[in-house]
């Protein structure tokens, strides 16, 4: 059993939990993920590791309440225990040898971007973090990004915080102002990553995207997380979750991401009604 040692609401729909998992904390690296179950009959869901503390033996996850399992997870409290917490899974982010990197995060994807920014900054890389949210009320980890990046550009759709506009607007402005990046790393909604990739392709700028399709077993056996990358089938759980963004078929990934939405909405509603009755 994996005890919840800290729980914090980051905004109305996003929650941080710190989990007692010393064996995972010992081996995890930025870019990797875990798969958890809240109870013996629960759904297996993947969540990227947002942070870790090897000394304390804890792993931090940040999740958005979008479905039945995340709704149930959000009702758990400090002192409660998760039934399963498996990892670290996936390949770590490749950070060595990079002198200057732009990390572009959107929404709750910024929770995935943060540990990458943190590691790059710690190894002496110049990191420019570009993070975007729909509005001020949805901003997460702003101070953490400030502390661990050489430059932070905060964007919002409505202009209620930072600069008004899209993350691609900010990235394009930085590139055209003369910034020379070894690499761009983008993490967030599929449509955002698609347009970041389209922009960087114009500048022949190497770009890595972190993908988070539907996963079940985390070993490549189920095939649920398959993607088309460079004309080949790849599995995000074992081949990724990071891939060359210019080779990803984003249109296919976006279409696949909507396949289970009616089922997810129905199940989420059922769980919400059950929790209200408790």
pTM: predicted TM-score of the whole model, two decimal places = 0.88
Q: Which phi and psi angles does 246 have, rounded to 5°?
A: -75, -10
From first to last of its 278 residues, what are the pLDDT tens digits of the chain? Answer: 899 999 999 988 899 999 999 999 999 999 999 999 999 988 888 998 999 999 999 999 999 988 888 888 999 999 999 999 999 999 999 988 899 999 999 999 999 999 999 999 999 999 999 999 999 999 999 999 999 999 999 999 999 999 999 999 999 999 999 999 999 999 999 999 999 999 999 999 999 999 987 777 777 788 878 899 999 999 988 998 999 999 999 999 988 877 666 555 555 555 555 555 55
Cα 91 to Cα 64, 200, 225, 227, 264, distances in angstroms: 23, 23, 15, 16, 28
Token reading at 2 = 């994996």
pLDDT at 72 (0 to 100): 86
Q: Are residues 198 and 204 in contact, defined by beta-carbon separation less than 8 angstroms?
A: no
Domain ranges for the chain, please list them. Answer: 2-89, 93-207
CATH no. for 2-89: 2.40.30.10
CATH no. for 93-207: 3.40.50.80
Q: Give first-to-last CA distance, the chain, whole Å.
A: 23
Please give the Cα distance from 7 to 5 (Å, whole number): 7
């Amino acid at each position: 059993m994996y005890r919840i040692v800290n729980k914090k609401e980051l905004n109305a729909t996003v929650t941080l939990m710190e989990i007692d998992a010393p064996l995972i904390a010992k081996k995890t690296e930025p870019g990797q993920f875990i798969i958890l179950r809240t109870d013996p009959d629960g759904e297996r869901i993947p969540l990227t590791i947002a942070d870790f503390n090897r000394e304390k033996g804890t792993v931090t996850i940040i999740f958005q309440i979008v479905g039945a399992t995340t709704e149930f997870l959000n009702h758990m409290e400090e002192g409660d225990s998760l039934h399963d917490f498996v990892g670290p899974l996936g390949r770590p982010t490749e950070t060595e040898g990079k002198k200057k990197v732009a990390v572009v995060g959107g929404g709750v994807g910024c929770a995935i971007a943060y540990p990458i920014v943190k590691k790059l900054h710690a190894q002496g890389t110049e990191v420019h973090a570009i993070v975007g949210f729909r509005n001020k009320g949805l901003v997460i980890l702003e101070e953490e990004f400030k502390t661990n990046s050489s430059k932070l550009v905060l964007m919002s759709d409505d202009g209620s915080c930072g600069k008004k506009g899209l993350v691609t607007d900010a990235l394009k402005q930085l590139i055209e102002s003369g910034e020379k990046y070894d690499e761009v790393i983008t993490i967030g909604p599929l449509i955002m990553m698609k347009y970041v990739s389209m922009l960087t392709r114009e500048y022949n700028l190497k770009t890595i995207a972190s993908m988070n399709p539907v996963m079940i077993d985390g070993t490549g056996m189920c095939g649920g997380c398959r993607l088309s990358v460079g004309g080949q089938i790849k599995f995000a759980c074992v081949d990724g979750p990071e891939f060359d963004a210019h080779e990803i078929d984003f249109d296919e990934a976006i279409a696949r991401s909507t396949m289970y939405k009616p089922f997810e909405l129905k199940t989420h509603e059922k769980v919400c009604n059950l929790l209200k009755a408790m």
